[in-house]
Amino acid sequence: MKDRLAYCMEWKNSVDIYLANKEITKKADIEYYRSRPILKLILDIYFIPTNFIRLLKFLRMLHEYKKNQIEIKVLTYELFNKENRRLK
């Protein structure tokens, strides 16, 4: 269980880094397209299918992230109880 908890924590940290970098990229895109609204509109229309698939993948990742957080809580609770039972 300790290995599983370590893996879950590592995965969570990786996703946290990914989300932070995604936020930086989003801010950079906003700044870049601020002076190019027509280009932004054309690209948004052209890439609707691709952007929709990216959105679905992102929503799936968020779902897995939330499940992982719950799994971390459960594993931590189980390990804590296992240690307490061993001490008694």
CA 18 to CA 24: how far, in whole Å?
10
Instruction: Look up the pTM and report it.
Output: 0.80
- Structural domain that includes position 26: 2-87
Cβ(9)–Cβ(55) below 8 Å:
no
Classify residue 8 as exposed, middle or buried by CB count within 10 Å of its CB (0-12, 13-18, 19+).
buried
- Cβ neighbours of residue 33 under 8 Å, at least 6 residues apart? 39, 40
- Asked if pLDDT for residue 3 goes beyond 70, the answer is yes
Q: How many domains does the chain have?
A: 1
pLDDT digits (tens, 9 = 90+) for 11-63: 999 999 999 999 999 999 999 999 999 999 999 999 999 999 999 999 999 99
CA 60 to CA 55: how far, in whole Å?
9
- Asked if pLDDT for residue 84 goes beyond 80, the answer is no
